Chain A
Amino acid sequence: MSAVEWGLAAIAGLAVVAVLAALAAPQRVRPTTVGSCTAALGGAGIAVGVLAAAGRRGAVWLPELLPLFGVRLEFDPLGGVFTAVAGAVAVAAALYSIGYTRHGLDSRTVQAALPLFVAAMLLLPAAASVATFLLLWEAMAAASLLLVLAEHRRRTAVAEAGGWYAVMTHAGMVTILLGLLLFAAHAGGETFAQLRAADLSPAMRSTVFLLTLVGFASKAGAVPLHVWLPKAHPEAPSHASALMSAAMVNLGVYGIVRVGFDLLGGGPAWWWLLVLGLGAASALYGILQAAVTTDLKRLLGYSTTENLGLVLLGVGAAGLFATAGNRALAGLALAAALLHVINHAAFKTLLFLAAGSVLHATGTRDLDGLGGLRARMPATTGLFAVGALAAAALPPGNGFVSEWLLLQALIHSLPATAVATAVTMPLAVAVIALTAGLAVATFVKALGVGFFAKPRTPAAESATECGPAMLAGMGLAAAACVGLALAPTLLVPALARAVQVAVPGTEAATTGRLTLELSGITGSMSPLLIAAALVVAAVGILAALRVFGARRARRAARLWDCGGGGLTARTEYTATSFGEPLQRVFDDVLRPEQDIDVTHVRESRYLVDTIHYRRRVPDRIEHRLYAPLLAAVRAWGEAGRRLANGSVHRYLGYGFYGVITLLVALAVTR
């Protein structure tokens, strides 16, 4: 057995051990045992993923496990990258869960669902047949649903979120099932090798691509199929949110790359323009909603939509370039997209785990009620700041590196011969730019309003730092962010191998150890040197101040309060007020609902006693697209009630008549 096969066996074995531990361990030690076993499971995932990304092969074929088809697992570098990412996120989230799930989340179901979820995510990129893929996809959806519903007794919003999530994920599964079954039926077999070798008509290929795109895009949180994401991610417990946001949504992208590039072997340009359009819309809409929301975890959920939108933009651009024959640029764009997947996983894990610490310590997710946490939870604040820097795509963070690569791929596409490319590339660059700007504003809001200055509510005042397990999980994610920020060149060979699977004939996107030097294009950037230069400059400035400045001790003094005195937390800017200018600028897109209630003093109508201001920014897509759909379904259901008059025999009769009619029709037409 090769190393990869041992790894697969280890994953399966550790998953079983972890589930048994969840079912058998006594309640006191359950979080610790399950957390450690799941962390080990994640570690195995990382090992297998790295081996696969390094080019090692391994295949497992278990015919008895599934009737008719059997289970077929085979790793290639593309799958290895996604498995390694999922494994890394799982290690951080599992360590975190040791401390987080201690109060109220340590029931057997919730604890057992965690290793199942992680195992399904680790094995999905290795699926080498349609049946295996669908089995693991469904397992992933079921396990994550259990995790989302973990706190349904405490809050009523959880049930609604779980409902939306269940319906949308299964609707996506149905479309993927239809697409892949059509593919397998026309290919004459269901293993990926047979699918690759199949020869389908262009209309059938487009149908398969569109069906699977709908399902995968919904899983990746692409607009307009993203509606489950800002509902489910806030209501899930934070370690589950981190796993879902940083590992599960990536598998939507994996599906698109696997089916579109590898199995179907590329397609006409309009496919990739569609993917690019979906990505651009998701990026813009996601970050816009994140910029005006005040719920910390909803902000992070919308930020996931934004980042996956950027990834889809890169994937679409890569497809466009590949169709036009420009393999080097296609390889660069796809490498940028994969690197962004990795970077996003690192910083989104960190951000969600930190948000979970805040929720754990204060009991609230509302930024308008937080503040002052830098004094009470200094470690969490520092870790959140690292994540926010990365998410805002500023140097020297890791988000900047992948965004830079993506921009380079897009910028070097012109001058191009195809009109479609010439028109879409500038617009794509503009979308990325606006998204980046809004992301900066969003994370300044999250960090500044949520963690700095004075606490706005008693809940924030009484916050305390979280336990060592939670800090360890966050610390691991932060270390990953820093490592990815300073040394992205280490990942370039693995990314090149992964991109080779999708777009054959490409070489490594960048060369160089310290600097990312684009191969074939003049362009380079060195995150390590930039960070070093900043540090040297800062040290130099401090030294110069010491020499030239006054050698007097620092004194504390009052803040400028216009002479009125008594500055309280009431005068601080809240998240609502911070996002107000942006909300005004984008009023047409957001359509907030505002309520102003003025109560006058009893004696005079000219004097105001109190003003109540309430603003709600609903998800407009949910409002305009889904609400009518749901209303139509409800109307159809109510019309259908007329068929149901209460007699059980009539219902059974419907079934019987249906079967007989079908059989008669069969007998007659054959």
Chain B
Amino acid sequence: MSDTAYVQLLDLAAGVFLLAAVLMLWRRELASIIRLFAAQGAALAALVAILGVHQQHPELLGVAAGVLALRAGLLPYLMRRALAASGEARETQPLVNVAASLLTAATLTLLAYAVSRPLVALAPSPATQAIPVGITVVLIGLFVLATRRRALSQVVGLLLVDNGITAVAFLATAGVPLTVELGVSLDVLLAVLVLLVLTARMRIAFGATDLDELRELHD
């Protein structure tokens, strides 16, 4: 594809990626958070596919297909099932209210740009210039992990971190070896399964998955 088309498509995919993360901070319904996550997965797959077509690496297209299947297909499906089983619909008042969360997201974006300047300076190219987006998503994922009450939201936070790391990996290098990608994917899948099982158990034990209830366990 031509260079301008490549740069534009790349920036578009990166933008959707970031936007999905920010919107997850805004929405309260768990079902829509999961839909946004699926959309982000699709954006990540598109990003990888664009990189593959531009760099003429056919295996990246295969990786893109795998990413799509896993992060936009399998993981949202599992989370929807867990959501249906739990019967909760909304995220209750998070520790940090929505407005403050969005302001924090803005600060994190600036921090990510400041930190990744040396990285970008190593090898300036349209791909590497999109690295700050990935780092921002990582930081937003950490923030979600730390400030949401529902267990399912925390799973989403963890997956955001992973998505961000994967995006940075693909943007900074020509991709990671297949074995590593497979390993990481398996890792993520297992983590999600374990967390969903734990969530179910928490619900059985306490009737809700509000993590602050777990405080009672402290002796």
- The answer to whether A and B touch in the complex, with CB atoms under 8 Å apart, is yes
Interface residues of A in 610-661 (CB under 8 A from B): 644-649, 652-653, 655-656, 659-660
Bound form: Cα–Cα A18–B104 in Å: 56
A-chain residues with CB within 8 Å of residue B87 when the two chains form the complex: none
With beta carbons under 8 angstroms apart, the residue of B146, B154, B214 that contacts A656 is B146
Contact yes or no, A647 B142, CB < 8 A: no
B-chain residues with CB within 8 Å of residue A647 when the two chains form the complex: 211-212, 214-215
Say yes or no for B95: interface residue by CB 8 A criterion: yes
Contact yes or no, B95 A649, CB < 8 A: yes
B-chain residues with CB within 8 Å of residue A24 when the two chains form the complex: none
Contact yes or no, B177 A67, CB < 8 A: yes
Q: How many A-B residue pairs have CB under 8 A?
A: 56
- The smallest C-beta distance from B101 to any residue of chain A, in angstroms, reads 13
Contact yes or no, B179 A659, CB < 8 A: no
A-side interface mostly: helix
Bound form: Cα–Cα A645–B217 in Å: 10
Bound form: Cα–Cα A647–B147 in Å: 12
Interface footprint category on A: 10 to 19
The residue on B at minimum CB distance from A65 is B179
Contact yes or no, A667 B115, CB < 8 A: yes
A-chain residues with CB within 8 Å of residue B58 when the two chains form the complex: none
Contact yes or no, A655 B142, CB < 8 A: yes
A-chain residues with CB within 8 Å of residue B205 when the two chains form the complex: none
With beta carbons under 8 angstroms apart, the residue of A67, A645, A653, A659 that contacts B139 is A659
Given contacts A67-B177, A666-B115, whether A649 and B212 have CB atoms under 8 Å apart is: yes
Say yes or no for A588: interface residue by CB 8 A criterion: no
B-chain residues with CB within 8 Å of residue A551 when the two chains form the complex: none
Bound form: Cα–Cα A653–B139 in Å: 12
- The smallest C-beta distance from B132 to any residue of chain A, in angstroms, reads 12
- The smallest C-beta distance from B23 to any residue of chain A, in angstroms, reads 20
A-chain residues with CB within 8 Å of residue B176 when the two chains form the complex: 67
Bound form: Cα–Cα A644–B147 in Å: 17
Bound form: Cα–Cα A663–B112 in Å: 8
A-chain residues with CB within 8 Å of residue B179 when the two chains form the complex: 64, 67
Q: Interface 1/0s, chain B 72-106, versus A by CB < 8 A?
A: 00000000000000000000000100000000000
B-chain residues with CB within 8 Å of residue A663 when the two chains form the complex: 111-112, 115, 139
Q: Interface 1/0s, chain B 109-139, versus A by CB < 8 A?
A: 0011011011000000000000000000001
The residue on A at minimum CB distance from B113 is A667
Say yes or no for B143: interface residue by CB 8 A criterion: yes
Bound form: Cα–Cα A645–B216 in Å: 10
Contact yes or no, B111 A652, CB < 8 A: no
Say yes or no for A570: interface residue by CB 8 A criterion: no
With beta carbons under 8 angstroms apart, the residue of A646, A656, A660, A664 that contacts B216 is A646
Contact yes or no, A664 B111, CB < 8 A: yes
Contact yes or no, B211 A649, CB < 8 A: yes
Residue in A67, A648, A655 with the greatest tally of chain B CB atoms within 10 Å: A648
Bound form: Cα–Cα A664–B112 in Å: 9
A-chain residues with CB within 8 Å of residue B118 when the two chains form the complex: 670
Given contacts A67-B179, A646-B218, whether A660 and B139 have CB atoms under 8 Å apart is: yes
Given contacts A646-B215, A646-B218, A648-B214, whether A659 and B95 have CB atoms under 8 Å apart is: no
B-chain residues with CB within 8 Å of residue A670 when the two chains form the complex: 117-118
B-side interface mostly: helix
Contact yes or no, B211 A648, CB < 8 A: yes
Q: Interface 1/0s, chain B 165-183, versus A by CB < 8 A?
A: 0000000000011011000
B-chain residues with CB within 8 Å of residue A656 when the two chains form the complex: 142-143, 145-146
B-chain residues with CB within 8 Å of residue A666 when the two chains form the complex: 115
The residue on A at minimum CB distance from B107 is A660
The residue on A at minimum CB distance from B177 is A67
Q: How many residues of B contact A (CB 8 A)?
A: 27
Interface residues of A in 111-149 (CB under 8 A from B): none
- The smallest C-beta distance from A308 to any residue of chain B, in angstroms, reads 38
The residue on A at minimum CB distance from B147 is A649
Bound form: Cα–Cα A656–B177 in Å: 29
A-chain residues with CB within 8 Å of residue B147 when the two chains form the complex: 649, 653
- The smallest C-beta distance from B159 to any residue of chain A, in angstroms, reads 15
Bound form: Cα–Cα A645–B214 in Å: 11
Bound form: Cα–Cα A661–B203 in Å: 34
With beta carbons under 8 angstroms apart, the residue of A646, A655, A667 that contacts B111 is A667
A-chain residues with CB within 8 Å of residue B95 when the two chains form the complex: 649
Bound form: Cα–Cα A576–B159 in Å: 63
B-chain residues with CB within 8 Å of residue A667 when the two chains form the complex: 111, 114-115
- The smallest C-beta distance from B111 to any residue of chain A, in angstroms, reads 6
- The smallest C-beta distance from A659 to any residue of chain B, in angstroms, reads 6
Q: Interface 1/0s, chain A 454-494, versus B by CB < 8 A?
A: 00000000000000000000000000000000000000000
Bound form: Cα–Cα A130–B117 in Å: 32
- The smallest C-beta distance from B208 to any residue of chain A, in angstroms, reads 14
- The smallest C-beta distance from A483 to any residue of chain B, in angstroms, reads 46
- The smallest C-beta distance from B138 to any residue of chain A, in angstroms, reads 9
- The smallest C-beta distance from A579 to any residue of chain B, in angstroms, reads 47
- The smallest C-beta distance from A359 to any residue of chain B, in angstroms, reads 40
A-chain residues with CB within 8 Å of residue B112 when the two chains form the complex: 663
The residue on A at minimum CB distance from B180 is A67
Contact yes or no, B111 A645, CB < 8 A: no
The residue on A at minimum CB distance from B111 is A663
Contact yes or no, B145 A652, CB < 8 A: yes
B-chain residues with CB within 8 Å of residue A655 when the two chains form the complex: 142, 145-146
Bound form: Cα–Cα A67–B183 in Å: 11
A-chain residues with CB within 8 Å of residue B115 when the two chains form the complex: 663, 666-667
B-chain residues with CB within 8 Å of residue A664 when the two chains form the complex: 111
The residue on A at minimum CB distance from B141 is A656
The residue on A at minimum CB distance from B95 is A649
A-chain residues with CB within 8 Å of residue B139 when the two chains form the complex: 659-660, 663
Bound form: Cα–Cα A663–B110 in Å: 11
Bound form: Cα–Cα A653–B147 in Å: 8
Bound form: Cα–Cα A649–B154 in Å: 10
Bound form: Cα–Cα A17–B70 in Å: 34
- The smallest C-beta distance from A279 to any residue of chain B, in angstroms, reads 43
- The smallest C-beta distance from A437 to any residue of chain B, in angstroms, reads 56
The residue on A at minimum CB distance from B215 is A646
Given contacts A649-B211, A655-B146, A656-B146, whether A644 and B111 have CB atoms under 8 Å apart is: no
Bound form: Cα–Cα A660–B139 in Å: 8
Interface residues of B in 193-219 (CB under 8 A from A): 211-212, 214-218
Bound form: Cα–Cα A471–B215 in Å: 60
B-chain residues with CB within 8 Å of residue A64 when the two chains form the complex: 177, 179
Given contacts A667-B114, A667-B115, whether A646 and B214 have CB atoms under 8 Å apart is: yes
With beta carbons under 8 angstroms apart, the residue of B114, B154, B218 that contacts A645 is B218
- The smallest C-beta distance from A576 to any residue of chain B, in angstroms, reads 45
A-chain residues with CB within 8 Å of residue B117 when the two chains form the complex: 670
The residue on B at minimum CB distance from A646 is B218
Bound form: Cα–Cα A652–B149 in Å: 11
Residue in A645, A647, A649, A659 with the greatest tally of chain B CB atoms within 10 Å: A649
- The smallest C-beta distance from A535 to any residue of chain B, in angstroms, reads 62
With beta carbons under 8 angstroms apart, the residue of B108, B146, B215, B216 that contacts A652 is B146
A-chain residues with CB within 8 Å of residue B215 when the two chains form the complex: 645-648
B-chain residues with CB within 8 Å of residue A649 when the two chains form the complex: 95, 146-147, 149, 211-212
Between-chain CB contacts (< 8 Å), 8 pairs: A64-B177, A67-B179, A647-B215, A649-B212, A652-B145, A655-B142, A663-B111, A664-B111
Known: A646-B217, A655-B145. 11 other contacts (CB 8 A): A64-B177, A645-B215, A648-B211, A648-B215, A649-B95, A649-B212, A653-B147, A655-B146, A656-B146, A660-B111, A667-B111
B-side interface residues toward A, CB under 8 Å? Answer: 95, 108, 111-112, 114-115, 117-118, 139, 142-143, 145-147, 149, 154, 176-177, 179-180, 211-212, 214-218
